[in-house]
């Protein structure tokens, strides 16, 4: 029995926020003091490190579950299935629905229930639930869906990654420039086609690393101390990722039995261009090899870091020939990989 992606969809919000939109921000240090460098220098350094030139924000009337629903509808249409036949809807996110200018997370009911409601699915045996797993959430949800199908308790699963990170950022934190909004979705089904998931790997590092990403106060000490925003220890995350993600990818690839020379694409969480490039370099070094040109497609330059949405959005764009010259052909071997809050890491080897 093979388990394959039979359809994908994504939603990229229309509102574009370029780097120069941050020129008038009052960026502060963690202690609330003024940063000595000008915003021009801050933004220039930011782009050099992350590769981000612009990002997308959801419109005021949209929420995370709305973005998820749009991506889901596209995936269902692309897979050419009846939504009533979906056995599981799994939505990966981090902060639920967050209304514009609210900063308050709303996950009652869960986003998967909201998406199922929006899709007008009547079948009560279509189970809808959320997964909170940081940026690797969509990939982990795929791994869970794969297990359900393998166990014989599901035939068709809808897996979504959606987020509106722009609504939980501290405008006084330079890291606020990283985050973006978006949604990506995929249908996983039991199939007779040769396409299938070959192997997967997941690890959670929590002893010292669990709070590398956290909810914290604004750097502006004049603001309400009880209002929290997404925060991160960037240098620690960078070092953690470089030390652990390549090893997880290697473990997954070795488990699949695929030779590294046969990999056609690596779809990695779009968090930071320099970090992703370093991860791929270290991964290939583990096999005494160097990454071939074009192995790692990037969407971060124009879309920013939309957390759980980055990998499924990237996958969908490539499948529909909407990311430059990047293509995936039948029989190609792909590695998916992600790292994020928790700290969690996962990887999956897939034969397209």
The number of domains in the chain is 2
Do 129 and 110 touch, CB atoms closer than 8 A? yes
Are 187 and 75 a contacting pair, CB within 8 Å?
Answer: yes
Count other Cβ atoms within 10 Å, centred on residue 242: 15
Q: Mean pLDDT throughout 281-292? A: 96
Q: What is the pLDDT of residues 126-155, one digit of tens each?
A: 999 999 999 999 999 999 999 999 999 999
Residue 346's pLDDT is 98
At 53-71, the pLDDT tens digits run 999 999 999 999 999 999 9
pLDDT tens track for 315-334: 999 999 999 899 999 999 99
Confidence of residue 101 (pLDDT cuts 50, 70, 90): confident
Q: At residue 158, does pLDDT exceed 90?
A: yes
CA angle at 245 for the pair 344 and 321, rounded to the nearest 5°: 95
8 plus 150 within the same structural domain: yes
- Let me know whether 246 and 165 are in one domain: no
Q: Give the whole-number percent of the chain exceeding pLDDT 70.
A: 100
Model pLDDT for residues 169-203, shown as the tens digit of each residue: 999 999 999 999 999 999 999 999 899 999 999 99
Question: What is the structure's pLDDT at 104?
Answer: 86
- Cα 25 to Cα 23: distance, rounded to the nearest angstrom: 6
Residues 63 and 180: their CA atoms lie apart, in Å, by 13
- pLDDT above 90 for 347: yes
The answer to whether 159 and 71 have CB atoms below 8 angstroms apart is no
Q: What is the pLDDT of residue 157?
A: 98
- Confidence category of residue 102, pLDDT binned at 50, 70, 90: confident
End-of-domain residue from the set 193, 226, 260: 193
Average pLDDT, the chain: 96
Crossing angle, helix 234-256 and helix 273-285, to 10 degrees?
Answer: 40
For residue 103, pLDDT beyond 90: no
> Same domain for 335 and 253?
yes
Residue of 221, 224, 223, 241 whose CA lies nearest to 232: 241
Kindly write down the DSSP assignment for every residue of 301-339, as one continuous string: HHH-B-GGGHHHHHHHHHHTT-STT----TT-EEEEEEE
Same domain? For 230 and 296 the reply is yes
Q: What is the mean pLDDT of residues 260-283?
A: 96
Residues 176, 226: one domain?
no
Q: Do 170 and 214 reside in the same domain of the chain?
A: no
Over residues 21-26, the mean pLDDT reads 94
**DSSP symbol at 289:** -
pLDDT of residue 248: 97
Q: How far is CA 302 from the centre of its chain?
A: 15
Range of the domain at 234: 197-351
Same domain, 90 and 184: yes
> pLDDT category, 1, cuts 50, 70, 90?
confident
Q: Looking at the structure, do residues 172 and 254 belong to the same domain, yes or no?
A: no
Q: Are 78 and 170 members of one domain?
A: yes
Q: Which of 145, 166, 193 is the last residue of a domain?
A: 193
- Same domain for 19 and 156, yes or no, is yes
How high is the pLDDT of residue 211? 95
Quote the distance between the C-alpha of residue 9 and its chain's center: 14
For residues 18 and 71, state if they share a domain.
yes
**Do 136 and 269 share a domain, yes or no?**
no
Q: Domain end: 164, 193, 222, which one?
A: 193
Q: Is the pLDDT of residue 225 over 90?
A: no
Non-local CB neighbours of 79 within 8 Å, separated by 6+ positions: 6, 7, 187, 189
Q: What is the CA angle 139-144-147, rounded to 5?
A: 130
Buried b (16+ CB within 10 A) or exposed e, 183-215: bbbbbbbbbeeebbbbbbbbbbbeeebebbbee
Edge-to-edge strand list for the sheet holding 88-93: 2-11, 181-191, 156-164, 88-93, 127-132
pLDDT at 251 (0 to 100): 97
Please identify every residue annotated as catalytic. Answer: 135, 269, 305
- Please say if the pLDDT value at position 98 is more than 90: yes
Residue 310's nearest CA partner among 350, 352, 275, 272 is 272
Q: Domain containing 93 — which CATH number? A: 3.40.47.10
């Amino acid at each position: 029995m093979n388990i394959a992606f039979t359809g994908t969809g994504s939603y990229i919000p229309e509102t574009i926020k370029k780097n120069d939109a941050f020129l008038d921000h009052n960026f502060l240090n963690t202690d609330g003091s003024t940063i000595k460098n000008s915003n021009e220098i801050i933004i220039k350094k930011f782009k050099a490190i992350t590769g981000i030139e612009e990002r997308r924000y959801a419109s005021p009337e949209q929420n995370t579950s709305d973005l998820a629903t749009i991506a889901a509808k596209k995936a269902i249409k692309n897979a050419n299935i009846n939504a009533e036949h979906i056995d599981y809807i799994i939505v990966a996110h981090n902060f639920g629905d967050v209304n514009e200018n609210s900063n308050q997370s709303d996950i009652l009911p869960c986003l998967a229930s909201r998406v199922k409601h929006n899709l007008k699915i009547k079948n009560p045996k279509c189970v809808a639930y959320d997964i909170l797993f940081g940026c690797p959430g969509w990939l982990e949800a795929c791994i869970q869906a794969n297990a359900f199908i393998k166990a014989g308790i599901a035939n068709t699963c809808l897996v979504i990654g959606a987020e509106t990170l722009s609504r939980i950022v501290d405008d006084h934190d330079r890291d606020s420039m990283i985050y973006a909004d978006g949604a990506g979705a995929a249908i996983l089904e039991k199939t007779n086609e040769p396409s299938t998931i070959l192997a997967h790997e997941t690890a959670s590092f929590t002893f010292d690393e669990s709070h590398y990403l956290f909810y914290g106060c604004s750097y502006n000490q004049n603001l309400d101390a009880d209002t929290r925003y997404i925060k991160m220890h960037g240098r620690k995350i960078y070092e953690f990722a470089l030390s652990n993600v390549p090893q997880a990818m290697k473990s997954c690839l070795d488990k699949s039995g695929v030779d590294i020379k046969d990999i056609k694409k690596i779809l990695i969480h779009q968090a930071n261009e320099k970090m992703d490039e370093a991860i791929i370099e270290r991964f290939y070094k583990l096999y005494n090899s160097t990454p071939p040109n074009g192995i790692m497609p990037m969407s971060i330059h124009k879309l920013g870091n939309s957390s759980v949405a980055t990998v499924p959005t990237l996958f969908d764009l490539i499948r529909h020939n909407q990311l430059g010259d990047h293509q995936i052909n039948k029989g190609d071997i792909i590695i998916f990989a992600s790292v994020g809050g928790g700290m969690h890491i996962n990887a999956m080897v897939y034969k397209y």
